[in-house]
Amino acid sequence: MKEDRPVSVSVIRRLPRYYRFLRDLLGKGISRISSKELSRLMKVTASQIRQDLNCFGGFGQQGYGYNVELLHREIGDILGVSNETPAILVGAGNLGKAVAPQVSSKKRGFRLVGAFDEKPRLVGSTVAGAPVYHIDQLEEFCRKHRPKAAIICVPREAAAGLADRLVAAGIEGFWNFSSYDFSYHYEGIATVNVHLGDSLMTLSYLMTHMDSEGKQPNTLR
C-alpha cells in the first residue's frame, strides 16, 4: 500500500462509497469485477476509479479486474473500519438518537461508549446501547474511559462552550453536526462537519435547475 504523497480529501470522501458498493457486490455473490463494470454501477469513470485506488497501490490486475473481497477488505483497512475507536455522543436529543445507531450498529471504525446531555430527564437512559450521563460528568468519564472521538449533536453555542473541555479531555476527532468549526479553533484534530441545511439547499438547487427531461445531474454522491 502506498501513501507517500498526501491523499486528497475528494479521494478520501469517495472511499466509503467504494466500500459500500463492494459490500453490496459481495452480498450478491460477485467475486470479480472490472473497473469498467464498477464505473457503470457507481456512475463514475473507470479512469477515476483507477486513479483513486492507485493512491493506495492499485489492487487491480490487468485482464482480471478487481477481486471484490480483497478490494473490500483493503479499503476497509484503509478506512480503519475495524478500529473500534471509543467515541462519545454529546447531545442525546432527537438528532443524537437518530445519529448514534450509525456508530454502534455497523463496523465503521468507532464504538460508542457513552452519551452526554444537560437535561436531567435524559440522564440514566440509553442511546444506541450507550448510557447517558449528565454533561457535568464529562471530564470524569473521559479520564476513566479515554474516548478519542466525539459526535456533536448540540447547537453551535453549546458546542463552542464545550470545545475546550472536549479537547482538554483528550478528544482528537469530531463528527460535528453543529455549525461550530472545531478545526478552525484547534490544531491537530480531525473534524468532519455535517451541515444538514447545506444538503437541503443543494437539493433545492438540483430541483430548481433540473430541465423538463430531468437531465440536470440530479444526484450528488
- pLDDT at residue 208, as a whole number: 87
**C-alpha closest to that of 143 among 118, 171, 119:** 171
Predicted local confidence at residue 183, as pLDDT: 78
Given the C-alpha cell 455473490, which residue does it identify?
A: 29
| Structure confidence at residue 63 (pLDDT) | 64
Q: In the CATH hierarchy, which fold is given to the domain comprising 9-79?
A: Arc Repressor Mutant, subunit A (1.10.10)
Supply the pTM of this predicted model.
0.86
pLDDT at 206: 87
DSSP 82: T
Closest C-alpha among 69, 1, 68 to residue 37 = 68
Q: What is the pLDDT of residue 221?
A: 65
Complete edge-to-edge strand list for the sheet that includes strand 126-127? 126-127, 130-134, 110-117, 85-90, 149-152, 173-176, 190-193
Q: Are 137 and 108 in contact (CB under 8 A)?
A: no
Fold of 85-198: Rossmann fold (3.40.50)
For residue 144, the one-letter residue type is: K
Residues in contact with 128: Cβ distance below 8 Å, sequence separation at least 6, in sequence order: 89, 97, 100, 101, 103, 104, 105, 112
Residues of the chain with pLDDT under 70: 1-5, 58, 60-63, 211-221
Amino acid identity of residue 56, one-letter, is: F
Q: Could you tell me where the DSSP H helices lie in 28-67?
A: 35-42, 46-54
Instruction: Identify the sign of the CA torsion 118, 119, 125, 127.
Output: negative
Could you give the CA distance from residue 8 to residue 172 in angstroms, rounded to a whole number?
20
The per-residue pLDDT for 124 is 97
Q: Which pLDDT score, from 0 to 100, does residue 179 have? A: 84
Q: Output phi, psi for 167, to 5 deg.
A: -65, -45
Which residues is 175 bridged to in the sheet? Answer: 151, 192
| Residue ranges covered by each domain of the chain | 9-79, 85-198
Residue 200, pLDDT score = 92
d(CA 157, CA 200): 22
Using left for φ > 0, alpha for ψ between -120 and 50, and beta otherwise, residue 220 falls in: beta
pLDDT of residue 217: 59
